[in-house]
Amino acid sequence: MLLPSLGTSIANVALPTLRTAFSASQTDVQWVVLGYLLSVTTLIVGVGRLGDIFGRRRILQIGIAVFGVASVGAALSSSLWLLVAARALQGVGAAAMMSLAVASVADIMPKERTGTAMGLLGTISAIGTALGPSLGGALVSWFGWQAVFAVMAMLAGVTFIVATLVLPTGGQAERGSASFDIVGMVLLALFLAGYALLATMGFSGDPVLGISLATGAALALVAFIMVERRVSSPLVQLKTLIEGDLGPNLVALGLVSTIMMATLVVGPFYLSESLGLSPVEAGLVMSIGPGVAALVGLPAGRLVDAYGVNRVTVAGLLGVVLGTILLTILPNWVGTLGYIAGLVSTTAGYALFQAANNTGAMSGVSSERKGVTSALLGLARNLGLITGASAMGAVFATASSGVPFLALGQGPETGLLLTFGVAFVLAVSALCVVGLGCDRRQHPWPRWRYRRSG
C-alpha cells in the first residue's frame, strides 16, 4: 500500500519543475498525474479478478515488477509524453498492488486478527500519502525530478523481494472453475475512464466533449450490466452487490472518501485565503490529517478485533459526522484551531471506519473472490476521491462566490460552510446506508448484512 500511495502523492510536487523542464502547458503536465490515476481506476477491478483466477501472489509480483520497470522508464523519459506513458504503465502496477494487497493480507492473517492487519494497511497508506509531498519536494530540490521516480523504482525492488519471501502461494482458482470476463473488463474500464475524465475535466472547457464523455460512460455502464447478467463467470457479481453484503459497504466507502478528499481540496484555499496562513503553515496544518490516520490506523484495527466490525464502523462514521459539523462551524469562529479540531475528528473517524469496513467486507468473502472484492474496495475509494476533488471543489468555488438566496456573502467562509454542510449530509447518508442491512427486531445491536461472520 505504501508504493501506490506514494505514486499518487509524490509526483504532484514535481509538476511545476516538469512544466519548466519540458516547456509544457499546465494542462499538458497534469497528464502526469491523470495518466496514473486513469490506469489505476480503470484496471483495478480487472487486475483483482486476474489475481483470483491465476493466483494473487503471481499477479501481485507482476504488478510490482511493472511498477518498478515503469518507474525506471519515467526517470529516463526524454519527453513529457514518454513520461505520461511511463506513468500510465506505473498505474497498471499500482492497480495490482491496490487490488491485491488487502486480499493477500486476508490470506495470511488468522481471521481473529484481520482487523489489526487492515488497520496496519491503513497506517501504511496514510504514511505514503503524508510522506509523498515532503519526500518529493526534497528529491526535486536536491537531485532533480528524475530522482522521484528513481526512488520509487528502488522501493519497488525492495517490495518485490519482500512479497516473494512473505506471500503464500495460495489464492488461485481451480483449473477450469473460472474464466476471465474480458468483455466485462473492457466495458467497465470504458465507463470508469469516461467518469474519471468527466469528473476531472468537466463541461467547462469543451461542452461537446463533456456531453460525449457522459453519454459514452452511461452507454458503457448499461452494456456492462447487461453482459454481467449473462456471463457464467462475471467480473463482478451484480446480485451480490444488489442483494448481498457488499453493496452498502462500497457505497459508504465512496461517500466517506468523497468527504476526505474535500478536506484536502478545500483546506489549503481556506487556510490561506481566509485565515491568512503561509504555504508552509497551511502545509503543516494539512499534514495533521494523514498523521492522525497513521497513528489511529493500527489501534483501530485492534479495536475491530476486540469489539467487532459493527461497533467500530458506527463509531468511525459518528466521528466523521462530528468532524463535518466541527468543520462547518468552528473554523469561522475560532480560526486554525477550529479547522484542526474538525480535521482530527474526521480523519480519526475515517481510520476507524476504513479498518472496520475493510475487515467486514473481506471476512465474508470466499477465497476465489477475495481479489475482486479487494479491488472493488479500492475502486470505491478512488471514485470517492475523484468525486470529492471535482464535485466538492466545485461546491466550494461556487459557494465562495456568494449564495444570495441564503443571504450568505462572498468569500471562503461561505465556501467552507456549504462544502462541509454537504459533507455532513454525505456522512449521515453513509451511516444510513450501512444500517440498511440491520435486523433490529432480532438483534438489539445492529447486525449489518455485510457482516455475517463473528
| Residues 33-50: tens digit of each pLDDT | 888 888 888 888 888 888
- Residue 99: which pLDDT band, with cuts at 50, 70 and 90? confident
**Contact 39/92 with Cβ under 8 angstroms?**
yes
- Residue 442: which pLDDT band, with cuts at 50, 70 and 90? very low
Statement: residue 92 has pLDDT above 70:
yes
Going from the C-alpha of 291 to that of each of 89, 125, 286, 294, the distances in angstroms are: 30, 11, 9, 5
User: At 335, is the secondary structure helix, strand, or coil?
Assistant: coil
Sign of CA dihedral 40, 46, 52, 56: negative
pLDDT digits (tens, 9 = 90+) for 382-434: 888 888 877 888 888 888 876 665 556 677 888 888 899 999 999 999 999 88
pLDDT at position 271 is 85
Interval 437-450 mean pLDDT: 42
pLDDT digits (tens, 9 = 90+) for 258-315: 998 888 778 878 888 888 888 778 777 877 888 888 888 888 888 988 888 888 999 9
φ, ψ dihedrals at 325, nearest 5°: -65, -45
pLDDT at position 244 is 63
Statement: residue 454 has pLDDT above 60:
no
pLDDT at position 232 is 80
pLDDT at position 349 is 94
Statement: residue 94 has pLDDT above 70:
yes
pLDDT digits (tens, 9 = 90+) for 118-165: 777 777 777 776 677 777 778 888 888 899 899 999 999 999 998 888
CB atoms within 10 A of CB 3: 26
**Contact 247/255 with Cβ under 8 angstroms?**
no
Share of the chain above pLDDT 70, in %: 85
Statement: residue 66 has pLDDT above 90:
yes
- In this structure, what C-alpha cell is assigned to residue 344? 482530527
**Contact 265/396 with Cβ under 8 angstroms?**
yes
pLDDT at position 204 is 58
- In this structure, what C-alpha cell is assigned to residue 206? 469543451
Q: Which residues contact 287 (CB under 8 A, 6 or more apart)?
A: 130, 134
Statement: residue 21 has pLDDT above 50:
yes
DSSP class of residue 445 equals S
Interval 305-327 mean pLDDT: 91
Closest CA to 63 of 82, 38, 84, 91: 91
